[in-house]
Structure 1
Amino acid sequence: MQKTIIFYLLLTLCFQVHSQSQQKDKKSQTRSHEKTTFQTSNPWKPVTDVRADVAIVYSVKDHHGKGNMSFEHRVQSWRDKGYTTHFMTGIAWGEYQDYFTGEWDGKKHLDEGQVTQKGDTLWHGLMVPYIVPSMNFINYMKEKVIKRVIDAGIDAIFLEEPEFWARSGYSTAFKREWKDYYGFDWRPQHESAENTYLSNKLKYHLYYRALNECFTYAKAYGKSKGMNVRCYVPTHSLVNYSQWMIVSPEASLASLPCVDGYIAQVWTGTSREPNYFNGQMKERVFETAFLEYGSMESMTAPTGRKMFFLTDPIEDWPRDWADYKKNYQATFTAQLLYPMIADYEVMPWPDRIYEGYYRTSANSDKKEQIPRFYSTQMQVMINTLNNMPLSENKVSGSQGIGVLMSNSLMFQRFPTHSGYEDPQLSNFYGQALPLLKRGIPVKTVHIENASFAKTWKDIKILIMSYSNMKPMDKAAHDHLADWVKNGGVLLYCGRDEDAFQGVQEWWNTNGNTFKAPSEHLFMKLGLKAPFGAGEYSYGKGKVYIMRNDPKEFVLKGNSDEEFVNTIKKLYEAKAVGGKLEFKNHFVLTRGPYELVSVVDENPDQSPYTVRGKLIDLFDPEIPVLNEKQVKPGEQAFLYNISSVKNPATPQVLAAAARVYEEKVMKNGYSFIAKSPLNTTNVMRILLPAKANKIEVTDATGKSLVSESSWDASSKTCFLKFENNPDGVHVKISW
């Protein structure tokens, strides 16, 4: 009897272990299919069934949007359609009216909004202020938002946009936090550079604390329910926040154990912010996007955190459809030129993309919903992301030149002090655009990641300046010095004359008496005062000092030649980088995809030509081309048919729908295509022979209208029909 009981106990235990193992395998499989996402505050609708892997449901507020549903019902509506569901809400703003009006704890908290010097609260919407994240607000977020989300079975939480406006910092709540943090009374930031620095450092700390608290709680509460909750921060790039004068924790979050990754919120709206180059201030969407995505990629590359790249087919501000299309292509190409990132938020807010009304042209007040040609092109593009591979390939051009960045770029943007200005973040762009515009794929390096060995991998020359940022940790200089000593080449550009050089910080306190933080760095590099312009040796490496602020290279025309020639000399002679290649284009092969961007404002105005059997993925008719010319200021996204590894196997090469349930038969091929209602699907299908029969039916078996044609040279069939989220069944025989 006892042996029988033991046998059944062991059998039960084995079953439990097997069941748990199966559940883990299932969850692991689900997570491995979290490559593409989108965010929405609405329930599932046939017109917004994007068919990415994950639907990120936004806000816990009940009766949100047009669905008039509870949060849990909105979540379930997406699950019922086969989506993995995640959750997103704002951490600096959101529909938290019950907190501000006193419904939550019986006290009103409208005094916790961010307030400017004039006494104005900064609002994100009606009764939605930008928040000074007090511990009381953090507790509200834990109890009212995060707990509910986890109770709904969601194991991935995105707290987006931890934003503190640089021009704010005058509210009662902020003054309380100041006293708690610094131990002395609040000081108005407009009165001195030091006050500004202290104010922004506190803003930075408050959202670092808020995210750490919220995510630590989420992981602990999830664990108590047997869940492994993952936590992500959707955030603008450090480039954009610095230019828009917003303070956020950015790179520092990557070292928190409770942060699993980020969404890089880069899109037309951020990338069209004008900057200076060659004396002209204007929009440079591709170049700015390239630098924005680069700053996000380099932020996490040394730490191994997950990074989703975002693009948006439209933007927050109303424009016309042609404007949206042109800039979407620029940002989309820029994101794909980072081949070691392959996870994407394919779009935010599909409701406004598919159902919003925007101008038909720049000079017209007439508005219409997204044109079919654009929705078709967009869906072709986003469906490539489901299959976009990682690649070890490098973007064409001379590799190994980096620009150093720090979170403190956000600290001295507003207000100006002692007359020192940095128009449109020109001290940053002055280091990057002269190279990028000459076809050099310049990287960004985060000083916060200086302690990671991977940060320095492949960096031959590092360009840096303390004109627009300051080192928050002196240990970074030890790592910089070690890198130079081992053969790195450092180019320092700066007059070190801005008012922030003298703020009370580590380089002039506790026995340090340096007038500028660069003096401490130069001492570590074995240099002696007065640290004049010129070239110096340290160990196996070199240090070159230019006593110009980087903004001087771009604010006036033809002012960057000495800077560029210095880099050329250092690259070719000191960094052993080979010849520094100047050109007007960036090219990358990524699996079957060919990516090209040709820059303007370059002496070389010739187009770049790609040859082969190519599908043009920026054309809604997805034609097969033998040659594609890309002009300055334009981009191309192409599928190279000759790269297909198994050309005898029928397969969909490009489509404005997602393909499911593919079946290959002896003389046939079938699949189901799904995409939003009221959109058109185009497909380019590789076949071993010309089809003699193509059947296109709906889920009930009813025949649907379709168009098809055969391209003998590429052995591809073009097929076109109206999309349906319930699935269109295609059967091809030959």
Structure 2
Amino acid sequence: MNIRDRREERTGFQESAPYKATYDLQSDFVMVYGIDESMPRRIQEWKNKGYVVHLMTGIAWGEYQDYLYGKFDGREHWDEAQKNKQGSHILHGKDIPYMVPTVAFTQYLTSRIKLAVDAGVEAIHLEEPEFWVDGGYSESFKREWQIYYKEPWQPPHDSVDAQYRASHLKAYLYKRSLDRLCSELKEYALVKYNRFLRFYVPTHSLINYTQWRIVSPESMLLDLPAIDGYIAQIWTGTSRTKNVYEGVRKERTFETALLEYGMMQELVSGTDRNMWFLHDPIEDNPRYTWSDYKKNYLKTVVASLLHPEISQYEISPWPKRIFDGKYPNEEGTGKEAIPEDYATTLLTIMHTLGDMNQDDVQEYGMAEKIGVLVSDSMMYQRKNFHTDDKDSSERYDGTDTNTVTNEDDIDLLNFSHFYGLALPLIKRGIMVRSVQFDNVRRFSNYLNDYRLLILSYEFQKPEYPDLHMALAKWIREGGVLIYIGNDQDPYHYVREWWNTGKIKYDVPREHLFEILGLSNEKEQSIYEIGKGVLGFLNISPEDCANDRKSADTYRDLITKCLNTNNHQVELEEKNYFMVKRGPYRIAAVMDESISATPLKLNGHFVNLFDPALPVITQLQLGPEDMTLLYDLDDDMPETEMKVIAASSRIEDVINHDSGFEMVVKGPEKIKAVARIFCPKKPVQANLIMGHKSKSIEWDWHEESKTIFVQYFHSSTDSTKISVKWS
């Protein structure tokens, strides 16, 4: 672990509560949450503790009652609250509706956030631009429809076309709001303070928003120069949402998180924008036990670390609810605070995350880049129209996996059209990236790194015809495209470019095939296109999720296409994923894979998921086991001390002939640990708080030449660890 400047902003957390020593996680930055009257005071409190301070607030919802009830401008604004078909407001809490992002609401937020700029924050995070699929019935939305489409509003439930157009408008409205707000406040900060203000959007993945039936701008944000980056809001609550693989519906937290983090990585791929991956040691649902939270948290951490292109992290939302909160015990007889060992492990992981910007990266068995093409238009097709019961939709907010009971809505929630393309490969240890199809128009050569791409229009649509031109060029130059679809999706008939004008196609696939020289081909087959290959499977993608036979047919087609036209590519099937990032080894073994054979690792490692930070020489991982290791055989020093791992922020290290001292910082009342390489065997280890010194527990591991120490931080005095070897 290296000493780093907080201005690197490698790690951060968000918190709405005032500063408190019990959840002072000692990350690089803190996002003070909310723009109420206490905001300036809270900002100053965290500044006084040495943090780089950002502000976070909701752009779709928040404590904005002064706007709703007319105190802001003399007019009530409940007509701008999102409303469903039944006429009910869509609420995040009492008097906290999800808002339609009108010009007036944007102006209100701009005026409120100016106070945070005046208080000196360095960045603003406008989180979760969310418009529910069930919304679209408020008076303000009807007005926006008329302005945008230049026609009278149509109820979204009337037709697939109305639903698709309503959802597209919802995404546009949040794009407009973010553009106006961020641009105006950037200018305000430069004019008034000569300060460059940064803007970030914390957002769920496109996969999750589609699954939960929420519309958001997603890749549209790439078109806004005022946006500087994002936080990937992925955690147990999103990733434990059930999906179907080989006919079995269940939670697959690791695999889902792996796909979600990969999806979010695409928002910054090829750009200079920042991305922080979020983890949450618990989740919004307070009804789980600590053991459940821990198991799923570790799965999301490992899934994120398997994407080495990202090395910045939001280590926790709401640390107060983690370290001061209580949750059900295993016996179901009451609630308990966070177990001591879990708290220690959390801090170790959080500080390890700050050291993930490593140049030496090795991905095991991931030679070929494979992508599933996805588009923002996935979010526009999230209402069933194949049944007569058009009122059956149930809004799923992610806090309880059992709230959706209607069979059609469960089918929507499963999102099997996407998972049917991704899970049959992921479960065989083949890394699949969700590739943002819309970006083909934004970035030249966007697809060049991929050998194999998978596409279906049964759950999304191409928004522009030139996407097909770029895709055809990529294939002719040697790419392999697998197209899966049976042309049965009712959304093929929305009013769009492929069925308007002089040339009309029944479905957008026909336009793609025509460009590839296959105008009349509808047979399931393999076609050689220039130096590349098209493999066409005439089934629904959800069939590949519902039964193994279809999944096998799909996998066989991929294998045959990769061995056609001199490609001769062999995909390595395995039951695990593993990546090496500098000295860190990250690995996960999956269930439901090609075998239950354990992954065996030999060497000299420190297990960072164990609060005792033990040195181990071998590790065996079975199905659903995860690990994060420090490889002691990786470039260890011989004459200088080195911190291998610690559940503290290391602020300073002072070396001398007889030992060293290091300044450690962290939340009080939580047991802290560290494992440190020493060139000589220590004789003494002390904890120094202010002017007081006392000996602490320590153990020496001769083979690795490392010392293990345990201690507690002080919130009032500087805390140092002193180790002497002579």
Confirm whether residue 702 of structure 1 aligns to residue 692 of structure 2.
yes
Tell me the distance in 1 between the aligned counterparts of 2:653 and 2:571. Answer: 48
- Corresponding residue of 1:208: 175
| Conserved 8 A contact 1:196-1:415 | no
Pairs within 5 Å for 1:140-219: 140-145=108-113, 147-219=114-186
SS in 2 for 1:224: helix
- Corresponding residue of 2:48: 80
- Corresponding residue of 2:347: 379
Give the Å deviation of 1:30: 6.8
List alignment gaps of at least 5 residues for structure 2. 389-407
Give the Å deviation of 1:54: 0.2
| Conserved 8 A contact 1:379-1:656 | yes
- Corresponding residue of 1:389: 357
Pairs within 5 Å for 1:632-643: 632-643=623-634
- Corresponding residue of 1:11: none
Which amino acid counterpart does residue 694 of structure 1 have in structure 2?
A
SS in 1 for 2:504: coil
| Pick aligned residue for 1:655 from 633, 638, 646 | 646
Measured against aligned partners, the alpha-carbon deviations of 1:162-217 in whole angstroms (never above 9, x if no partner) come to 00000111111111111111111111111211111011011111111111111111
Measured against aligned partners, the alpha-carbon deviations of 1:56-88 in whole angstroms (never above 9, x if no partner) come to 1111102xxxxxxx2111101011110010111
Tell me the distance in 2 between the aligned counterparts of 1:127 and 1:537. Answer: 59
Tell me the distance in 2 between the aligned counterparts of 1:442 and 1:34. Answer: 29
Which amino acid counterpart does residue 203 of structure 1 have in structure 2?
K
Change in 2 beyond 3 A, CA 1:205/1:684: same
| Pick aligned residue for 2:78 from 110, 128, 146 | 110
Change in 2 beyond 3 A, CA 1:617/1:577: farther
- Corresponding residue of 2:298: 329
| Pick aligned residue for 1:592 from 583, 594, 607 | 583
- Corresponding residue of 1:46: 21
Tell me the distance in 1 between the aligned counterparts of 2:413 and 2:698. Answer: 54
- Corresponding residue of 1:239: 207
| Pick aligned residue for 2:320 from 351, 363, 383 | 351
Measured against aligned partners, the alpha-carbon deviations of 1:403-446 in whole angstroms (never above 9, x if no partner) come to 00000111111243468965611000011000000000111111
* TM-score, structure 1 as length reference: 0.93
RMSD between aligned residues? 1.6
| Conserved 8 A contact 2:68-2:78 | yes
| Pick aligned residue for 1:60 from 28, 35, 57 | 35
Change in 2 beyond 3 A, CA 1:418/1:517: farther
Change in 2 beyond 3 A, CA 1:290/1:647: farther
Which amino acid counterpart does residue 537 of structure 1 have in structure 2?
E
| Conserved 8 A contact 1:333-1:595 | yes
Change in 2 beyond 3 A, CA 1:454/1:55: farther
Tell me the distance in 2 between the aligned counterparts of 1:184 and 1:365. Answer: 59
| Conserved 8 A contact 1:653-1:683 | yes
| Pick aligned residue for 1:360 from 294, 316, 329 | 329
SS in 1 for 2:185: helix
| Conserved 8 A contact 1:403-1:443 | yes
Confirm whether residue 626 of structure 1 aligns to residue 617 of structure 2.
yes
Give the Å deviation of 1:368: 1.2
- Corresponding residue of 2:309: 340
Percent identity (aligned): 41
- Corresponding residue of 2:400: none
Give the Å deviation of 1:391: 4.1
| Conserved 8 A contact 1:87-1:157 | yes
* TM-score, structure 2 as length reference: 0.94
Measured against aligned partners, the alpha-carbon deviations of 1:586-623 in whole angstroms (never above 9, x if no partner) come to 01110110001001001310111111111111111111
| Conserved 8 A contact 1:254-1:303 | no
Which amino acid counterpart does residue 506 of structure 1 have in structure 2?
W
| Conserved 8 A contact 2:361-2:582 | no
| Pick aligned residue for 1:433 from 413, 423, 428 | 423
- Corresponding residue of 1:404: 373
- Corresponding residue of 2:540: 549
Change in 2 beyond 3 A, CA 1:205/1:247: same
Tell me the distance in 1 between the aligned counterparts of 2:667 and 2:297. Answer: 20
| Conserved 8 A contact 1:302-1:454 | no
Change in 2 beyond 3 A, CA 1:292/1:528: same
Tell me the distance in 2 between the aligned counterparts of 1:691 and 1:357. Answer: 40
Change in 2 beyond 3 A, CA 1:241/1:716: same
Measured against aligned partners, the alpha-carbon deviations of 1:22-58 in whole angstroms (never above 9, x if no partner) come to xxxxxxx978521111101122111111100001111
Tell me the distance in 2 between the aligned counterparts of 1:381 and 1:624. Answer: 16
Tell me the distance in 1 between the aligned counterparts of 2:686 and 2:115. Answer: 47
Tell me the distance in 2 between the aligned counterparts of 1:370 and 1:577. Answer: 53
| Conserved 8 A contact 1:673-1:728 | yes
Which structure would you say has the larger RCO, counting Cα contacts within 8 Å and 6 or more residues apart?
Answer: 2
Deviates more, 1:419-428 or 1:165-174: 419-428
SS in 1 for 2:348: helix
| Conserved 8 A contact 1:653-1:684 | yes
Deviates more, 1:652-661 or 1:324-333: 652-661
Deviates more, 1:36-45 or 1:230-239: 36-45
Give the Å deviation of 1:640: 0.7
SS in 2 for 1:300: coil
List alignment gaps of at least 5 residues for structure 1. 1-28, 63-69
Tell me the distance in 2 between the aligned counterparts of 1:632 and 1:454. Answer: 38
Which amino acid counterpart does residue 109 of structure 2 have in structure 1?
M
| Conserved 8 A contact 1:178-1:184 | yes
- Corresponding residue of 2:438: 448
SS in 2 for 1:456: coil
Confirm whether residue 644 of structure 1 aligns to residue 644 of structure 2.
no
| Conserved 8 A contact 1:38-1:55 | yes
| Conserved 8 A contact 1:495-1:547 | yes
| Conserved 8 A contact 1:61-1:71 | yes
SS in 2 for 1:294: helix
- Corresponding residue of 1:531: 522
